[in-house]
Structure 1
Amino acid sequence: MMPPKPAARPDKVSLWRYLKLFRQDILSAQPARLYRAWMAEFRTPFFRSYLCNDPALVRLILNQRPDDFPKSNRIREGLTPLLGNSVFVTNGEVWKRQRRIIDPAFEGGRIRESFAAMAAAGQAAVSRMQPGVQEIEPEMSHAAADVIFRTLFSIPIEHEIAAKVFDQFRAYQREQPILNLAAFLPLPRWFPRFHSRRTKQTAARIRGLIRGLTEHRAGLIAAGEAPDDLATKIMTTPDPVSGQLFDTEEMIDQVAIFFLAGHETSASALGWALYLLATYPEVQNRLAEEAAGIGEAPDFAVMGQLKFSRDVFREALRLYPPVPMMVRENRCPEVFRGREVAAGGQVVLSPWHLHRHERIWERPDEFDPDRWQTEAGRSCAKEAFLPFSAGPRVCPGAGFAMIEGPLLLAMLVRAYRFETVAGRAPVPVAHLTVRARDGIWLDVKKRG
């Protein structure tokens, strides 16, 4: 059995229908031919967009000349109310300064130090889960948010402010499309950005709550009483070039993207991974056997035992990359595959297409965790696997996610068996991340 494809893969879509579908659901708008093409051009009255599936072009843009292909401000339009000027949307020297401060917090040793908090969040998720038919995405969102709060601010999700941030973020995630109308129009900076009142109000509440956490932590740091967690590390790390620290507003921006990237993306990946395991019970049994040996209170050493769990998580990231598309803008005129691309073009790099590309992957729509242990699978991973982007702008939390995901999967599958529900096959759509249109419904049963 194969996991479901997007709701539709039409071969031809009119411009206006494409725009309508794109706003409602990016994935349904994608024609079937794009899963075979190395490159495609999309024209609107205001700009041209180029989808690049050629691995050589992807390397050029992300690895070889990243400064010539900054992030497009068209993507930023829909995220500004929440993310402000965070590292996710900035470019140039501002972005470089932000990364110089942030990156040390996610080095290998720091991830090891965060492991106990991850494991505690996993144990809490196992304790919260109850047998029965249920929508699994809210549970995975709860677990992923718990990981973020425990590792970032040393507080569990049950903490009053953490719970409020989580509740507000759930509302924001469902109502905010990945692109808003301003992404398609050449608007001056002063023109209204078409964000709904509810979106702006929810974003303001989230940022207000984050402000409280940040200011409280600043007080603990000043008093010498702050825990040694990710927030403290980031807030006390000066830029090695300028010697400056993040101020409060900058830290609020960064915490907002840490929560978005660390909570939304992990929740998406975990939900789809559990659905895939339910669809393939033989794979789930193998993972359960591996997980049986990790013990009730795992330490970092168990990650060496969870090799199959890691491959399952990677395969879920391949089929359902949480961030389906990334948009860059070419500063200079370029020639892509013999085609002239004028400066200012929108260059789309799409994990959604690359991970299912028919000319790169064997059986691209099939769930097969064992592919990661084959030579062909490892080769494809180097050429066309971008769940965390690549190059200098690779997600700083990529290593963090590749510990968190397999660990939580193992802990959950060790305790429970997950089965599909008849008539409830999930359909992938893009909100802030790839989610299921009507949720992922599974039948959860306690393991004996």
Structure 2
Amino acid sequence: MIQPPKPPSRPDKVSLWRYAQLFRQDILSAQPARLYRAWMAEFRTPFFRSYLINQPELVRRVLKERPDDFPKSTRVNEGLRPLLGNSVFVTNGETWKRQRRIIDPAFEGGRLRETFAAMWDASEAAASRLAPLAGQQVEIEEEMSHAAADVIFRTLFSLPIEHHLARDVFEEFRAYQRSQPILNLAALIPLPRWMPRLFRRDTTRSAARIRSLITQLTQTRAEEIAAGTAPDDLATKIMTTSDPETGACFSTEEMVDQVAIFFLAGHETSASTLAWALYLMALYPEWQELLAEEAQVLDACDFAVMRKLPLSRDVFRETLRLYPPVPMMVRENSCTEEMRERAVKTRSQLVISPWHLHRHTRLWDNPDGFDPARWKTENGKTCQRDAFIPFSAGARVCPGAGFAMIEGPLILSRILRDFHVEAGPVPVPVAHLTVRAKNGIHLTITRRER
């Protein structure tokens, strides 16, 4: 049976210097194979201790039961500061709680129905862009990045990706991706706040350009809100929502921070998962044909159609299991903890790895295999509850999780309704901002007869 590709694992023991080199290149292949079966593993450096935790009870303690005691690690987020500022992705404590009180209402269940038309239009546009490429081998990650960025701009600012500001943000973000290393120096060495972080010049230049473009979009929307002409989209909803405890809305600078993370999280993660989903469909043609047949219901823009795409949803969920777009999350403990009869000192780095948890050999049946039907089995249902966290979990669960679970299956189905995909070279997963393929994902696409 064909197995979906995964990166090679390193030897169990390497020097700190070698580990840092591997980690900077790709955090997935820098990890030893034993982490796929370990409940907990310790990694020591001269500056701090890091613990990877896979045991569901420990993950539940950190993410769900006591999230305030395990804030996000500022160490790992240092590398994203030039772009994300003080967005909800990097803040902790009362600042983070205030941001979520303003943001969360925009992503409530009812809003999904309201944004569906924009997602539908983006899926139609994605299919139209692929049509002239029929019969060719296509780098599908790039095409899915285009599609996911289109969804973000249509739902957030009511702008198609062809709009000049939306296109400029998208193009500049691609430059940012190429320049941004996964590991900033501050992630390994505790630097004083006053010390420069030594970001690459092209990284800071791209981040500044993206923030400048987002500022233009935000200021224009503020003027439209004041004039009573703003469309009823996510940006308007967030910018007009006040904190129920303080009555204050986001300032322009704060809104720029939030839009930056919406674009990073919403575009980058969806693009990654869609590209891997299409590759898996090329690898497993029997599932591809099932999804293509199911997708024949996509004839008119109607939110109710999503109930008719259960197989697409299962395939998208299985893709999130095998290729979680955010492969690792890092927390710190604010007080000494005991984990598996081991004392974990205050401010240790606690790594929760969806990549390893989703493939854990002691939790999942056939952990490395592609099996969308697993979600209807007892093992699949148990693991979905205890060991499946592609959007994190608990208080800090991604506010756009429901959004992604509509967008992803819709675009996947829409593409497979009209096109057949065939696999090219075997892609090697690597992790930078998200889990992508080392040299891209190349698929040959051909038109289907309807």
Query: For 1:114-156, what per-residue CA distance to the aligned partner results, in whole angstroms no more than 9, with x for missing partners?
Result: 0000000000000001211011001000000000000000000
Work out which of the residue numbers 382, 393, 396 in structure 1 matches 2:396: 393
Give the drift of 1:182. Answer: 1.4
Corresponding residue number in structure 1 for 2:57: 56
Give the drift of 1:62. Answer: 0.4
Please say if 1:370 is aligned against 2:373.
Answer: yes
For the aligned residue pairs, the C-alpha RMSD in angstroms reads 0.8
Query: For 1:295-354, what per-residue CA distance to the aligned partner results, in whole angstroms no more than 9, with x for missing partners?
Result: 1x3310011000000000000000000000000000000000100001010000000100
Q: Which runs of 4+ in 1 moved over 4 A?
A: none
Give the drift of 1:22. Answer: 0.6
Corresponding residue number in structure 1 for 2:74: 73
Query: In the alignment, is the contact (CA less than 8 A) between 1:50 and 1:347 conserved in 2?
Result: yes
Taking the aligned partners of 1:64 and 1:360, their CA distance within structure 2 comes to 21
Give the drift of 1:199. Answer: 0.1
Corresponding residue number in structure 2 for 1:410: 413
* Secondary structure of the structure 2 residue equivalent to 1:268: helix
Taking the aligned partners of 1:428 and 1:57, their CA distance within structure 2 comes to 27
Query: For 1:55-88, what per-residue CA distance to the aligned partner results, in whole angstroms no more than 9, with x for missing partners?
Result: 0000000000000000000121110000000000
Taking the aligned partners of 1:274 and 1:347, their CA distance within structure 2 comes to 33
Query: In the alignment, is the contact (CA less than 8 A) between 1:330 and 1:343 conserved in 2?
Result: yes
Query: In the alignment, is the contact (CA less than 8 A) between 1:182 and 1:194 conserved in 2?
Result: no
Work out which of the residue numbers 420, 423, 430 in structure 1 matches 2:423: 420
Work out which of the residue numbers 300, 314, 318 in structure 2 matches 1:315: 318
Give the drift of 1:9. Answer: 4.4
Corresponding residue number in structure 1 for 2:42: 41
Taking the aligned partners of 1:134 and 1:315, their CA distance within structure 2 comes to 23
Corresponding residue number in structure 1 for 2:214: 210
Please say if 1:271 is aligned against 2:275.
Answer: yes
* Secondary structure of the structure 2 residue equivalent to 1:49: strand
Taking the aligned partners of 2:266 and 2:69, their CA distance within structure 1 comes to 28
Work out which of the residue numbers 350, 354, 368 in structure 1 matches 2:353: 350
If the length of structure 1 is used for normalisation, what is the TM-score?
A: 0.98
1:3-402 residue pairs with structure 2 within 5 A? 3-129=4-130, 130-131=133-134, 132-295=136-299, 297-402=300-405
Taking the aligned partners of 1:19 and 1:178, their CA distance within structure 2 comes to 11
Query: In the alignment, is the contact (CA less than 8 A) between 1:13 and 1:31 conserved in 2?
Result: no
Give the drift of 1:24. Answer: 1.0
* Secondary structure of the structure 2 residue equivalent to 1:225: coil
Taking the aligned partners of 1:13 and 1:413, their CA distance within structure 2 comes to 44
* Secondary structure of the structure 1 residue equivalent to 2:262: helix
Query: In the alignment, is the contact (CA less than 8 A) between 1:38 and 1:53 conserved in 2?
Result: yes
Among the aligned pairs, what percent are the same residue? 71
* Secondary structure of the structure 2 residue equivalent to 1:27: coil
Unmatched tracts of structure 1, length 5 or more: none
Query: In the alignment, is the contact (CA less than 8 A) between 2:179 and 2:200 conserved in 1?
Result: no
Taking the aligned partners of 2:148 and 2:10, their CA distance within structure 1 comes to 31
Query: In the alignment, is the contact (CA less than 8 A) between 2:273 and 2:320 conserved in 1?
Result: yes
Query: For 1:386-433, what per-residue CA distance to the aligned partner results, in whole angstroms no more than 9, with x for missing partners?
Result: 100000000000000000000000000001011011xx1101111110
* Secondary structure of the structure 1 residue equivalent to 2:192: coil
Query: In the alignment, is the contact (CA less than 8 A) between 1:427 and 1:436 conserved in 2?
Result: yes
Taking the aligned partners of 2:382 and 2:353, their CA distance within structure 1 comes to 18
Query: For 1:211-256, what per-residue CA distance to the aligned partner results, in whole angstroms no more than 9, with x for missing partners?
Result: 0000000000000000000000000000000000000000000000
- Counterpart of 1:40, as a letter, is A
Taking the aligned partners of 2:364 and 2:181, their CA distance within structure 1 comes to 29
Give the drift of 1:292. Answer: 1.2
Taking the aligned partners of 1:10 and 1:125, their CA distance within structure 2 comes to 42
Taking the aligned partners of 1:223 and 1:413, their CA distance within structure 2 comes to 43
- Counterpart of 2:48, as a letter, is F
- Counterpart of 1:301, as a letter, is A
* Secondary structure of the structure 1 residue equivalent to 2:266: helix
Query: In the alignment, is the contact (CA less than 8 A) between 1:13 and 1:29 conserved in 2?
Result: no
- Counterpart of 2:305, as a letter, is V
Deviates more, 1:358-367 or 1:208-217: 358-367
Taking the aligned partners of 1:170 and 1:7, their CA distance within structure 2 comes to 26
Give the drift of 1:10. Answer: 3.0
If the length of structure 2 is used for normalisation, what is the TM-score?
A: 0.98
